[in-house]
């Protein structure tokens, strides 16, 4: 789903920020299909933020030109399109004419506010490519921090580029991210497929301070969180993940019973994760059916996490909760 609109806010000069390049290697693909919703919102009261316009229309991407909407360059307005992937929602900004984000991290926090802003899990910028890539993707989380990558975000990014460039049919392009090179592929039916690369399992590279206990990886390792000993497996998909299927009190989680808002931040900011961490709490129904709830670093509880879904499958295989297929990772059903 996409929403196009314009927002009025002051845009001061930007300070240069850089993204470290991190290798992201487990092969996994995911698909996303979009309906299109273009909307101009009525004025939203906020001292430094105003969303404005007057009409709404609903239709398919072929019937509505997001590009023409984004081409309106009124002074003082930031044009954006809002997309979501499985409810993981983002504000997309056309930033192809500059290597600096159009808004600051502090402004991104205001834009992401669900009561006084637009509301989103993050702000994504479509920027010029570097090192021979077609585009660069940068993202500010709803707390203003900048993650290396975002699985659902890069799928939304790909669809956004297709709208901006008026691309049709099967297309692929290269995207530079903080987690390295990503190559999203738009299918004939409009869905987006992304090869997420291989997992990074070496504990120090995730990074985690938990001691490695299996081939330099932290697999089913013990961690004390608020007096409870949890078993966790640490995986990086270019960004850090801590995956848990249970603790000493409850070896098999019922994830719907978790107080995610209470326990999530304690994992995210735990001293064992020097770069903070995304945390996936997983319930196992079978070797081929897992259910997860996620607390995302910098965004909190979200409805979905693409890199997190990949990390869950990797952790499930490493812990013997899911199987392999033909020497690789089997496709699994992950509900979130």
From CA 13, how far away is CA 4, in angstroms rounded? 25
Fold held by 203-335 = Diaminopimelate Epimerase; Chain A, domain 1 (3.10.310)
Residues with Cβ within 8 Å of residue 67, at least 6 apart in sequence: 163, 164, 166
From CA 91, how far away is CA 121, in angstroms rounded? 8
Residue ranges covered by each domain of the chain: 76-196, 203-335
Q: What are the DSSP calls for 260-271, one per residue?
A: HHHHHHHHHT-T
Which parts of the chain fold into alpha helices (H)?
A: 66-70, 105-112, 151-165, 260-268, 306-318
Instruction: Give mean pLDDT, residues 314-325.
Output: 89
Q: Residue 139 pLDDT > 70, yes or no?
A: yes
| Tens digits of residue pLDDT in 105-132 | 999 999 999 999 999 999 999 999 999 9
> Are 76-196 and 203-335 in the same CATH fold?
yes
| Tens digits of residue pLDDT in 40-95 | 333 333 434 444 332 333 334 444 455 555 555 555 788 999 999 999 999 999 99
From CA 98, how far away is CA 242, in angstroms rounded? 35
Enter the tokens of residue 52: 């404005």
> Does the domain formed by 76-196 have CATH 3.10.310.10?
yes
pLDDT at 73: 56
Q: Which is nearest to 233 in space by CA: 316, 170, 117, 127?
A: 316
Q: Read off the pLDDT band of 231 (50, 70, 90).
A: very high
Do the Cβ atoms of 259 and 101 come closer than 8 Å?
A: no
| Tens digits of residue pLDDT in 153-192 | 999 999 999 999 999 999 999 999 999 999 999 999 989 9
What mean pLDDT, rounded, does the chain reach?
A: 82
| Exposed/middle/buried for residue 258 (C-beta within 10 Å: 0-12, 13-18, 19+) | middle
Percentage of the chain surpassing pLDDT 70?
Answer: 74
pLDDT at 323: 81
| Tens digits of residue pLDDT in 141-156 | 999 999 999 999 999 9
Question: Does pTM surpass 0.85?
Answer: no
Catalytic residue numbers?
A: 150, 305
Q: Read off the pLDDT band of 4 (50, 70, 90).
A: low
């Amino acid at each position: 789903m996409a929403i196009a609109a314009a927002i009025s806010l002051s845009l001061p000069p930007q300070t240069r920020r850089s993204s470290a390049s991190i290798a992201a290697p487990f092969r996994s693909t995911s698909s996303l299909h979009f309906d299109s919703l273009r909307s101009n919102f009525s004025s939203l009261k906020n001292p430094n933020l105003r969303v404005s316009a007057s009409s709404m229309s609903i239709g398919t991407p072929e019937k509505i030109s997001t590009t023409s909407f984004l081409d309106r360059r009124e002074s003082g307005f930031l044009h954006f399109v809002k997309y979501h992937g499985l409810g993981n929602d983002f504000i997309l900004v056309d930033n192809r004419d500059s290597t600096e984000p159009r808004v600051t991290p502090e402004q991104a926090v205001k834009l992401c506010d669900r009561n006084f802003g637009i509301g989103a899990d993050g702000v994504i910028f479509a920027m010029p490519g570097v090192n021979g890539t077609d585009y660069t993707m940068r993202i500010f989380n709803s707390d203003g921090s900048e993650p290396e990558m975002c699985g659902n975000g890069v799928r939304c990014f790909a669809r956004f580029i297709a709208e901006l460039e008026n691309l049709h049919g099967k297309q692929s392009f290269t995207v530079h991210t903080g987690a390295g090179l990503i190559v999203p592929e738009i299918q004939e039916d409009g869905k987006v497929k992304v090869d997420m690369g291989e997992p990074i399992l070496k504990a120090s590279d995730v990074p985690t301070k938990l001691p490695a206990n299996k081939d330099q990886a932290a697999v089913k390792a013990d961690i004390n969180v608020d007096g409870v000993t949890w078993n966790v497996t640490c995986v990086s998909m270019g960004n850090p993940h801590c995956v848990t299927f249970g603790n000493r009190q409850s070896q098999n989680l019922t994830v719907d019973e978790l107080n995610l808002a209470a326990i999530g931040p304690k994992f995210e900011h735990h001293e064992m994760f020097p770069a903070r961490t995304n945390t996936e709490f997983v319930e196992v129904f079978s070797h081929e059916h897992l259910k997860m709830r996620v607390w995302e670093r910098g965004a909190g509880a979200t409805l979905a996490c693409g890199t997190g879904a990949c990390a869950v499958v990797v952790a499930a295989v490493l812990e013997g909760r899911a199987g392999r297929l033909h020497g690789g990772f089997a496709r699994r059903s992950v509900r979130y």
